Amino acid sequence: MRFGFLAFAATLAVTVPAFAQTAAEQPAPAAQPQNAAQRFEAYATSEGYKKAIGQMAVMGASVSNPACKDQKAMNRAELIFYAYPQFDQGLHPVSGIWQDRIRMDSCGKTAYQNILMEAQPSAQPKIALMMPGLSAATPPTQNLVLKDVIGGLAAKKCTDVSQIIPFDTVVSKETKPRKVNPKGVLIEGAWQEVWTFQACGKTVKATVDFTANGKGGMTHKVKL
């Protein structure tokens, strides 16, 4: 598996240094805008950032759909902020967590890869691949759902996690509209998603029901 901050170490070892090297070659502007939103917009549209995100998205797509040998990162579909990035004097943000959703051309079909970024006080951000597709679940909840899916598949005699490959996620039904407060915290919502895996040679679909808990988190229930 390759999700959260615990996995895909090999991918990070290849990709992140390229990000750092490219960014380091770009001198900081003489007069940087003070507004955090302006700083982040400049950062997220820089060539070093876009190159690193694109490389990571292609790697994720190659894992999710290994049958396709022609994966292309097309453009940014969405930015999701969990803690808005803040800057000091350096190039990289010193705090903040966000997800960059990248629209992919996967052998002529549209797909999505999600890259989670966690800023560090004195280093480049940590980068991690999350579930592919259009899931509205937060990263911690995604990891909990994955544990439940792996446990459910183990009960069905699919115990080799290297043979459990996430393929896609879609929101299939919304029973209560999702709402966020002025700080961007999810406070209401109930919806259903379908997560598709290639597991031990078979296509497996997990139905996941999510309910916001009013505190920024959510509960979930998985059915395989």
From residue 208, give the alpha-carbon distance in Å to each of 64, 71, 179, 193, 201.
Answer: 19, 28, 19, 5, 22
Task: Report which of residues 53 and 16 the model is more confident about.
Answer: 53
Q: What pLDDT is attached to residue 181?
A: 86
pLDDT at residue 189 is higher than 70: yes
Per-residue pLDDT, averaged over 28-32, amounts to 51
Displacement of CA 151 from its chain's centroid (Å): 22
Order the strands of the 218-223 sheet from edge to edge. 164-180, 186-199, 202-212, 218-223
For the segment 50-74, what is each residue's pLDDT rounded down to a tens digit? 999 999 999 999 999 999 999 999 9
